[in-house]
């Protein structure tokens, strides 16, 4: 049985379950964050990438399982998610095992990246995962995304392993990171 929808809140942000009707807002976020797609995928984002976020599992070839897909809005924004998303969180309960939660994507629009929302969202997710019985958070980051790697290190994540794989148009070195809760 699937867990109930999850919402995270903080002083500076709120989240809500991202639904297919929010697709246009997600597409605008991906389009505004084209630097991320170019760095990680080796190409500009497409509308199909927004649709894929709704269906994607935690890693290539895996099913969505206990997917948590949240739109993120800063608290100083309008409450209408159709207007503007500050970010998106794609996470998974019980992956890769029942003691872990996995972060598939945490992406913010460029104008929100240095305002501390990422840190606040990660801490809220960690608190929620811990309260649900998880013992760790895991994620993958590509080697060329140096800012993301440093962000995750600053949040207490440590490197577990590295491997080479193709993602989008680019072959990359992937880095698995974990954080004990």
**Could you report the per-residue pLDDT of 142-167, keeping only the tens digit for each?**
999 999 999 999 999 999 999 999 88
**Does 1 have pLDDT greater than 50?**
no
* Mean per-residue pLDDT, 2-9: 71
d(CA 180, CA 100): 9
Buried b (16+ CB within 10 A) or exposed e, 106-143: bbbbeebbeeebbebbbebbbebbeeeebebbbbbbbe
CATH number of 13-134: 3.40.630.30
Q: Residue 64: pLDDT band by 50, 70, 90 thresholds? A: confident
Nearest of 27, 1, 2, 6 to residue 129 by alpha carbon: 6
d(CA 117, CA 108): 8
The residue ranking higher by pLDDT, 3 or 143, is: 143
% of the chain surpassing 90 pLDDT: 73
The residue ranking higher by pLDDT, 30 or 79, is: 30
* Helix/strand/coil for 13: strand
pLDDT tens profile 10-61: 888 999 999 999 999 999 999 999 999 999 999 999 999 999 999 988 887 7
In angstroms, what is the C-alpha Rg of the chain?
15
Report strand pairing: 13-17 vs 136-142.
unpaired
Number of H helices, E strands in the chain: 5, 7
């Amino acid at each position: 049985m699937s867990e109930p929808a999850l919402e995270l809140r903080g002083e500076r942000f709120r989240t809500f379950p991202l639904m297919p009707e929010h697709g246009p807002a997600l597409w605008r976020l991906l389009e505004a964050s084209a630097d991320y797609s170019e760095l990680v995928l080796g190409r500009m984002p497409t509308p199909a990438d927004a649709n894929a976020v709704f269906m994607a599992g935690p890693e290539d070839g895996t099913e969505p399982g206990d997917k948590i897909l949240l739109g993120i809005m800063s608290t100083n924004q309008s409450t209408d998610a159709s207007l503007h998303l500050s970010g998106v969180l794609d996470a998974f309960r019980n992956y890769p095992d029942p003691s872990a939660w996995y972060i598939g994507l945490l992406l913010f629009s460029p104008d929100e990246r240095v305002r501390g929302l990422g840190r606040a969202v990660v801490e809220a997710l960690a608190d929620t995962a811990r309260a649900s019985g998880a013992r760790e958070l895991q994620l993958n980051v590509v080697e060329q995304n140096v800012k993301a790697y440093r962000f995750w290190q600053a949040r207490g994540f440590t490197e577990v392993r590295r491997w080479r794989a193709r993602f989008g148009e680019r072959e990359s070195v992937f880095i698995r990171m974990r954080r004990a809760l």
